[in-house]
Amino acid sequence: MYPYHNKIKQRIKNNELESYEYVIKYKSINPCLLLHFSTEPKIRPIREHRFEEYEALLSQL
């Protein structure tokens, strides 16, 4: 199984994150936090139950 969140957090720590945004709906995920990266895959969606975890990480940037 792909360690989805561990890999995303590592990419954030490696300064690959370009921006992020909250959207009402992204594909079948709503609401959604979209993380935009400089490397592939460029966009990674985060579901609402993980928002708090990522907000803490993003506030450190």
With a cut of 70, say whether residue 57 has pLDDT above it: yes
Q: What are the helix and strand counts (H, E) for the chain? A: 2, 3
Share of the chain above pLDDT 70, in %: 97
Distance CA 23, CA 44 (A): 12
With a cut of 80, say whether residue 45 has pLDDT above it: yes
Domain carrying residue 45: 4-59
With a cut of 90, say whether residue 35 has pLDDT above it: yes
Structure confidence at residue 22 as a pLDDT band (50, 70, 90): very high
CB burial class (10 A; 0-12, 13-18, 19+) of residue 19? exposed
Q: How many CB atoms lie within 10 A of CB 22?
A: 12
Strands (E), the chain: 17-23, 32-37, 43-47
pLDDT of residue 48: 97
Q: What is the pTM of this model?
A: 0.91
pLDDT of residue 61: 83
**How many domains is the chain built from?**
1
